[in-house]
Amino acid sequence: MIYKSYQLEQDINTLKNNINLFYGENLGLKNDLKIKIKNVCKKTLIKNFNQEDIFANENNFFNELFNKSLFEDKKIFFINQANDKILELIMEIEKKENNPNIFLFSELLDKRSKLRNYFEKSRTLGVVACYADNEISLKNIILNKLNGYKGLSSQNLNMIMENCGLDRSKLNNELNKVAIFFENKIIDTNKLEVLLNLKENNNFDLLKDQALIGDKIKTNRLISNTILEKERNIFYLNVINQRLMKLLEIVKIAKDNNVDDAINKIKPPIFWKDKTIFNLQARKWDQNKLKKMLGQTYKIEFKIKSNSQITHSLLIKKLLVDICCLANSS
């Protein structure tokens, strides 16, 4: 039986099956649905398994499933990292009477997946696709979680959404911060900018973007004018590293140098305002250059963590200069 994720977000009790499969690349959505299941089953013992752990000791898993203790409450089971290998085991469980509640969580399963097909064709099993969010779905999350807050203007809403880059998990973290900080339920734009570190993040993002494009004049000017906070050096490195990884992914799937097509295919999707800058950057880099620069970021991270005597901000700025130079190399 196929369920729509938005239906379960509204009411998880819509899910009536004992055994259910959640698949897709949207980790944030799967985590949200897990939380809803836990909230409905507060008095139920939750057992977590990874698929590989089950196969390492199947007898132990079946004992957990079907052996009841006088001292244990009702149990539900979360099976993470599930794939086609677990299908035969699920079919075996189905044959038993009084099946326990089992929730399987998988990465993206394509249409050829035996596990996905089996669940979709079954009348007794539930299956939920958890695909990547888009701007509309994330906007609805913000409106629902901040319902009743004054000052949630279009500007403030977009500020929150753009800061999360279509990442539901990051959005949930930011919304928790907003809810705690604005406990009077009145959102002030200036305070929101400070809370989200937007001014500082925007300055560094601009510097990082110009370096990756290979614009030497703008990179040098921004390096001189941008102050890097000592306690955020690992954050800066992570920002650079994540962008390099995303560009590597784009370059790998770009066929016949069709960068636009690759950017549109990438998961999770790139925020529409960022597509132009990603396009410009991807055309400056190939896989070898990106891998070389990723190696350099790891070395700098090691230096920062292992040597407190060096000026960490200089290492970050030197890295950005090297990125700018390598972007222009052939």
Tens-digit pLDDT profile for residues 295-310: 999 999 888 888 776 7
**Residue pair 330/285 in contact by the 8 Å Cβ criterion:** no
Whether the pLDDT of residue 172 is over 60: the answer is: yes
Burial class (CB in 10 A: 0-12, 13-18, 19+), 197: middle
The ranges assigned to domains in the chain are 2-129, 135-195, 198-327
The structure tokens 């306690």 sit at 231
pLDDT category at 323 given cuts 50, 70, 90 is very high
pLDDT single digits (tens) 5-24? 999 999 999 999 999 999 99
Is residue 199's pLDDT more than 70?
no
* Contact assessment for residue 228 and residue 236, using Cβ atoms and an 8 Å cutoff: yes
CATH 1.20.272.10 for domain 198-327: yes
Which of 122-131, 221-230, 312-321 shows the highest mean pLDDT?
122-131
Backbone φ and ψ for 166, nearest 5 degrees, come out as 60, 30
Query: DSSP letters of 124-187?
Result: SEEEEE-PPP-HHHHHHHHHHHTTT-BT--HHHHHHHHHTTTT-HHHHHHHHHHHHHHTTTSB-
Mean pLDDT, rounded, for 180-208 = 84
Is 198-327 the same fold as 2-129? Answer: no
Between 312-327 and 216-225, two packed helices, what is the crossing angle to 10 degrees? 170
pLDDT for res 72: 60
Greater pLDDT, 38 or 272: 38
Q: Report if pTM > 0.85.
A: no
C-alpha to C-alpha distance for 121 and 153, rounded to whole angstroms: 45
What is the phi/psi pair of residue 15, to 5°?
A: -75, 110
- pLDDT tens, residue by residue, 205-256: 889 999 999 999 999 988 888 888 777 888 889 889 999 999 999 999 887 7
Rounded distance, CA 161 to CA 141, Å?
10
Q: What are the tokens at 198?
A: 């937007």
Burial (CB count within 10 angstroms: exposed 0-12, middle 13-18, buried 19+), residue 69: exposed
- The predicted pLDDT at position 251 comes to 93
pLDDT value, residue 19:
95
Indicate the pLDDT class of residue 71, thresholds 50, 70 and 90: low
What is the predicted pLDDT for the residue at 87?
A: 97
Nearest Cα neighbor of 267 from 106, 128, 107 is 107
Name the CATH code of domain 2-129 (choices 3.30.450.20, 1.10.3470.10, 3.40.50.300, 3.50.50.60). 3.40.50.300
Quote the pLDDT of residue 7: 92
Bond before 268 cis per omega within 30 degrees: yes
